[in-house]
Chain A
Amino acid sequence: MDKLELILQEYQGAKRDSLIPMLQDIQESEGFLSENSIVKVGNILHLPTSKIYGVATFYNQFRFQPNGKFHIQVCRGTACHVLGSSTVLKEIEKKLKIKAGQTTRDGLFSIEIVACIGACGLAPVISINGQFFAKVTIDSLTEIIESFRNKEK
């Protein structure tokens, strides 16, 4: 049995108040909430998928696409904010032509907004697959992203 089925089995007969924990467990295991998993959650809880999608999109924590090969976390904590992390985010979104929470078509990059990652001295900071990049600027971003893209070539 695959991991999704195992999680679903745990929740057989569960009530509607299990919705959030259920979604969290699935995301934890799968990395995102697929259409298929939401349909199955709906069957167990007797909830329409429109409602589940509504609840899931209300919270920032849920994703609806698998992470890209290179998962970019953009820190939007206070220190980073003061030093221009909103420009950083906008720039990355522009470069990759996706929004935070999404994954590029080729599956290479995804963007996630995170609250303070505890590296305020390095602000504005981003992390790609756990590797930190300090004091990023528009120029350095181009380089960073290209270097990851090149890894694929």
Chain B
Amino acid sequence: MSLNITINKKPVTAEKGEYILDTLERNGIKIPTLCHMKEMLPSGACRMCLVEIEGSGKLITSCSYPVEEGMSILTHSPRVINARKTIVELLLSNHPDDCLFCSRNKNCELQSLSEELDVRQRRIIGKKNNYSLDISGLSLTRDPDKCILCGRCIRECEEIIGVSAIDFSFRGSKTIVGTSFNKGLNTSSCVNCGQCLMVCPTGAISEKSHLNQVIEAISNPEMQVIVQYAPAISVSLAEEFGLEAGRDINGIMNAALRKIGFNRVFDTSFAADLTIMEEASELLHRIEDKKPLPMFTSCCPSWVKYVEEFWPAMLPNLSTCKSPQQMMGSIIKNYYSKVEKTDPAKIYSVAVMPCTAKKFEAQREEMSTNGMADVNAVLTTRELAKLIRIFGIDINKLQPEPADSPLGTRTSAGKIFGVSGGVMEAALRTAHFVITGKELNEHRFAQLRGFQGIKETKVKVGDMELNVAVVNGLGYALPLMEIIASGKSNIHFIEVMTCKGGCIAGGGQHIGANTDAIIARGKRLHDIDERESINVSHLNPQVMELYNKFLGKPLGETSHEYLHTNYSKREVLK
């Protein structure tokens, strides 16, 4: 049903039941918001989105107030502008004044709002926040001083990720956001996904930077510095430089990495192909030997930690395969070092990831050989962009270059690991070949693509029918896990990615990207799969060579030693 209202004296039609904010947005009127989150119920906490109702003179929050017949809305009356400005001034009154040193300088909603509303003096003087930093986590730092209590991180963590590691505590002027008992992220149930960081309007949540270590290693002539980058990076990095979303700048990125001074440039997608060789074999092995099914993918470190914390009884269902990052790390230190005749202790191994949890993963005890970490540092997409800027590189002036051999060759199956459903597709392609000796007629699985939370399909493999599912967003795992725990599931294989959309939407990606940008990144990965001719991991020539020269066969003894691991129950405050 349509309603007739006026906005700034002009007649407009609105849909019954919609919020004023949505009507305004459709009509091209931008209203500042802070606590508002798209596609979630409004919380009405920050009051930034105030508008005036003419006649009654009331100021109401447009994000949480539905339109009414005959309503006359003023969006920018002097009263409204004043009220919004006052809200920003109040938020600034206890805020630390260290924008210049802040991780979110020039990319902060509070900063933009005070700029847009022309706040030019400190009118309200309050006592500055003085809480301690939470540096306990391996992926993220929380700085309650910079928190404006919008609650977005809490809702993301609870409603989307399904973890609830953080919440408001205390009240009034003492309110803060923190973990239970304020004991810090390290002992909490936090899975390090960084999605709270992605929604935070300010610098209250930031990644643990590894930039300094990496710069130091590069400048150390004793060190052989090797970099690998995840499948999602090449289609995401462009946005950090203001280029269009989804543009693939793989070749340019290779050139930039060399310019920075990395001695070797490898592609984690190679290790994704390797993961598929191991994981597809593991799946068959489990089906034949009646080992725990369904098998869960183990490439997402947030998901792995979630199982360790919340579903320890299902740890045997997790694939024993290390993630591609860690397989690559292990192959570099334990195999490539021999090829290059280098002491592994002199190799500094860097991974560029779209993810904050990968920082945690790289520091896990399981991810080392003889007490030496397989991956020494993890940079997010954002940190790589910073590194490129620190080294004064103009990416517009670079000619594309290929990655290095032998760990830089990939198939498109490894590349689609970066998007939800991709690991499953790649695994099915190879599993089909391993079982039947034949390639699938159609190796694209439309049912496993897209943004739904749970995607399922059946695949005929020889005379077996495989039931597979893809969980797209950790919050969707719970109902599925309950069904599995009750023994009522007949699924063989489940892919889980914590971030909605997959790694293309990881917590290490460009801040401020909208859904369209994330869709564009995923589409580009699928385009690559469409365009290229080698779409299956088992046809990666360099992976085959690695098996011939070093690993033997999938699930063999050498593979077990270097590419597989086990996880155990984790006690946290959950």
- A interface residue numbers (CB < 8 A to B): 35, 38-39, 42, 48-54, 57-58, 64
Asked if B574 is an interface residue, CB under 8 A from chain A, the answer is yes
Chain A neighbourhood of B189, CB < 8 A: 48, 50
Asked if B179 is an interface residue, CB under 8 A from chain A, the answer is yes
Q: Which B residues between 188 and 219 are near A, CB-CB below 8 angstroms? A: 188-189
Shortest beta-carbon distance from A83 to chain B in Å: 25
The complex places the Cα of A53 from the Cα of B165 at a distance, in Å, of 11
Q: Which B residues between 155 and 182 are near A, CB-CB below 8 angstroms? A: 158, 163-171, 178-182
Given A35-B181, A53-B181, A64-B181; A48-B574 close (CB under 8 Å): yes
Chain B neighbourhood of A57, CB < 8 A: 169-171
Given A35-B573, A39-B573; A48-B167 close (CB under 8 Å): yes
Shortest beta-carbon distance from A143 to chain B in Å: 32
| A49, A54, A58: the one within 8 Å of B574 (CB) | A49
Chain B residue, CB-CB nearest to A34: B181
The complex places the Cα of A42 from the Cα of B165 at a distance, in Å, of 13
The complex places the Cα of A51 from the Cα of B178 at a distance, in Å, of 10
Q: Are A52 and B171 in contact (CB under 8 A)?
A: no
Chain A neighbourhood of B574, CB < 8 A: 39, 42, 48-49
Q: Are A38 and B171 in contact (CB under 8 A)?
A: no
Shortest beta-carbon distance from B481 to chain A in Å: 14
The 5 lowest CB-CB distance pairs between A and B, nearest first, are: A48-B164, A49-B180, A54-B167, A50-B167, A53-B180
Q: Are B180 and A38 in contact (CB under 8 A)?
A: yes
Interface secondary structure of B, over-half rule: mixed
Chain A residue, CB-CB nearest to B172: A58
Q: Are B181 and A51 in contact (CB under 8 A)?
A: no
Q: Which B residues between 555 and 574 are near A, CB-CB below 8 angstroms? A: 573-574
Q: Are B164 and A51 in contact (CB under 8 A)?
A: yes
| A39, A42, A48, A54: the one within 8 Å of B169 (CB) | A54
Q: Give the one of B165, B169, B171, B182 with max A CB within 10 A.
A: B169
Q: Are B167 and A53 in contact (CB under 8 A)?
A: yes
- Count B-side interface residues using an 8 Å CB cutoff: 19
Chain A residue, CB-CB nearest to B179: A50
Chain B neighbourhood of A35, CB < 8 A: 181, 573
| B164, B170, B188: the one within 8 Å of A58 (CB) | B170
Shortest beta-carbon distance from A16 to chain B in Å: 13
The complex places the Cα of A53 from the Cα of B158 at a distance, in Å, of 15
Chain B residue, CB-CB nearest to A38: B180
Shortest beta-carbon distance from A41 to chain B in Å: 11
Chain B neighbourhood of A39, CB < 8 A: 573-574
The complex places the Cα of A42 from the Cα of B164 at a distance, in Å, of 12
The complex places the Cα of A108 from the Cα of B179 at a distance, in Å, of 28
Chain A residue, CB-CB nearest to B572: A49
Q: Are B171 and A48 in contact (CB under 8 A)?
A: no
Shortest beta-carbon distance from B163 to chain A in Å: 8
The complex places the Cα of A68 from the Cα of B95 at a distance, in Å, of 36
Chain A neighbourhood of B573, CB < 8 A: 35, 39, 49-50
Given A35-B573, A38-B180, A39-B573; A53-B169 close (CB under 8 Å): yes
The complex places the Cα of A49 from the Cα of B178 at a distance, in Å, of 11
Shortest beta-carbon distance from A88 to chain B in Å: 20
The complex places the Cα of A58 from the Cα of B300 at a distance, in Å, of 36
The complex places the Cα of A42 from the Cα of B188 at a distance, in Å, of 14
- 11 further interface pairs, Cβ-Cβ under 8 Å (given A51-B167, A53-B182): A38-B181, A42-B574, A48-B158, A48-B163, A49-B574, A50-B164, A50-B165, A50-B188, A53-B169, A53-B180, A64-B181
The complex places the Cα of A64 from the Cα of B182 at a distance, in Å, of 11
Shortest beta-carbon distance from A49 to chain B in Å: 4
26 contacts between A and B (CB under 8 A): A35-B573, A38-B180, A39-B574, A42-B574, A48-B165, A48-B189, A49-B573, A49-B574, A50-B164, A50-B165, A50-B178, A50-B188, A50-B189, A50-B573, A51-B164, A51-B167, A52-B180, A53-B180, A53-B181, A53-B182, A54-B167, A54-B180, A57-B170, A58-B168, A58-B170, A58-B171
